[in-house]
Structure 1
């Protein structure tokens, strides 16, 4: 299988953009992830998929975390946590009840560890949702390797 071609195929699926944050003895950490999904309503569970080769993968093992859903216009924040640090970027951290989160996020979902699964070159972390908050607004999307803004639509 041509892995580069397969990656392009997967890029045909438009996603939102999140930053998964947690705290360790070394401080607050985050990683950009678009592999995020809801799993269950009862109990409330979500899933994030994290590359095994990243430091963040080990930070999430048996650790509470927050999923920060980014707003349109937060591309610099996404890139910062995707391994392209921007020292000039002002990070506005908030201490959540379970995990630190980014104050300017469109939505935040705080979780405690539920289960971790082998996902090949990734680890699939399931978190039990303990707390969440969200606002109305435009979201940051990702499609075919590019960011775009998802317009806010009227709720039906």
Structure 2
């Protein structure tokens, strides 16, 4: 059933979700310190916000543990590689892995084998309806190579014919 938003428009939530599925996005795992060790969650709503200062944004369900914690603790955005589907499923609450491999750098929050890492300190939190928008001040990065893991139409995929070397960069 369509819902009326605060401006009077109507949007069918099922149709809107289907529409959003037509937008391919990268897949990240956000890791952060919890009371019993490092916690994480799979997120595809990640974006750059500013170069000066360097800021990124993640959108997290406000009812989740991460939705309550992020904005108060440092976090890392782990950008997943094409072969890391099982890791994405693990941190999305699906089939659990018996072991998760970690990198030694990044304050203990970097997952092994990712394409890139963005370490952040909390900058601000904003209302995003049923989600909270968390801005992080970038404090560290690492960049790898390879093809990204993508999320499209409710499933994981990869780019076909992705170059194995860094491709040409535009000035």
What is the TM-score when the length of structure 1 is the normalising length? Answer: 0.92
- What's the offset of the Cα at 1:5? 1.3
Would the aligned equivalents of 2:71 and 2:123 in 1 still touch at CA under 8 Å?
no
Aligned to 1:105: 114
Of 40-49 and 71-80, the range deviating more from structure 2: 71-80
In the alignment, the residues of structure 2 paired with residue 85 and residue 22 of structure 1 have an alpha-carbon distance, to the nearest angstrom, of 21
Are residues 1:142 and 2:155 paired? no
Higher relative contact order (CA 8 A, sep 6+): 1
Give the unaligned 5+ runs of structure 2: 3-11
Cα offset for 1:59?
Answer: 2.4
Three-state SS of the structure 2 residue aligned to 1:141 is strand
> Does the 8 Å CA contact 1:16/1:34 hold for their aligned counterparts?
yes
Q: Structure 1 unaligned segments of length 5 or more: list them.
A: none
Q: Deviations over 1:92-128 (max 9, x none)?
A: 1235445611021110000000000010000000000
Please tell me the root mean square deviation across aligned C-alpha atoms, in Å.
1.5
Q: TM-score, normalised by structure 2?
A: 0.85
3-state DSSP of counterpart to 1:94? coil
Residue of structure 1 aligned with 2:76, choices 66, 70, 75: 66
Deviant stretches of 4+, over 6 Å: none
Contact 2:82 2:150 (8 Å CA) reproduced: yes
